[in-house]
Structure 1
Amino acid sequence: MFARTKHRTVHFDKPFWISGLSEMVTAGDYVVDEEEELIEGLSWSAYRRVATFITLPATTENKYRMRLVPIDPEELEGLIAFDQRDAAASSNL
C-alpha cells in the first residue's frame, strides 16, 4: 500500500485546548501532518486520510520533548475556524 504525508503550518492567535490533553496549548504556529494511503483498485489516483497529527513544541512547563499528538481532523478544522472568527471579531472592535 502506498502512503504519503502532507505537511502544513497553521497559526493560532490565542491559546486553545485539544481533546485528550491536560494542558492548554499556547498560541503560535504549528506543523500539522496528514497521513494518507492510496485507495487501490480505482482507474485514477485517490488517497484517504488515515491519521492527523499536530506537532507541539517542548516547553519548560510540561517538561516534555517535542510531541507529535494525534488530533481529530474535524476538531482541528473547528479550532482553526474558531480562531479565525475570534480574530476577525477582535479586529472589528
Structure 2
Amino acid sequence: MAIRTTRTQVTFAAPFRLKEIAEQLPPGTYDIDTDEEVHEGNDRSVYVRVATVIHVRGHHRSRMVTIDPAGLDAAIQSDGI
C-alpha cells in the first residue's frame, strides 16, 4: 500500500501537554506529520490516517513522538482559551 505524509505546523501560545509525552511542552511552533495509507476502490481512492507524529525539539536533542490526533486537537482548542 502507498503511504503519503503531509507535514503541517501548529503554534502554541502557552505550555501544553499530550498524554504520550511525560513532560509539559513549551509554547512554540511544532511540526506535525500525518501518514495516510491509500485504499483503492472501484470508483475512487480514499486515504486513511495511520499515524500522527509530533517533532519535539529540546536542548541538544530532537525526537519524534507518535500521538493521538484527538489529543492534539484538544491541546490546540485549549490553547485558544
TM-score, L = length of structure 2: 0.91
Query: 1:74 — aligned with what?
Result: 70
> Does residue 1:29 correspond to 2:29, yes or no?
yes
Tell me, which stretches of 5 or more residues in structure 1 are unaligned? 87-93
CA RMSD of aligned residues (A): 1.2
Question: Structure 2 CA distance, aligned partners of 1:14 and 1:42?
Answer: 46
TM-score, L = length of structure 1: 0.80
Higher RCO structure (Cα 8 Å, ≥6 apart):
2
| 1:66 counterpart SS class | strand
Alignment length, in residue pairs?
Answer: 81
Q: CA deviation digits over 1:5-59, x for unaligned, max 9?
A: 0110001000011113221100000000000000123421210000000000022
Larger-gyration structure (1/2):
1
- Higher strand proportion (structure 1 or 2): 2
Tell me, which stretches of 5 or more residues in structure 2 are unaligned? none
Question: Structure 1 CA distance, aligned partners of 2:51 and 2:7?
Answer: 12
Distance 1:42 1:31, change over 3 A: farther
- The percent identity for this pair of structures is 38
| 1:46 counterpart SS class | strand
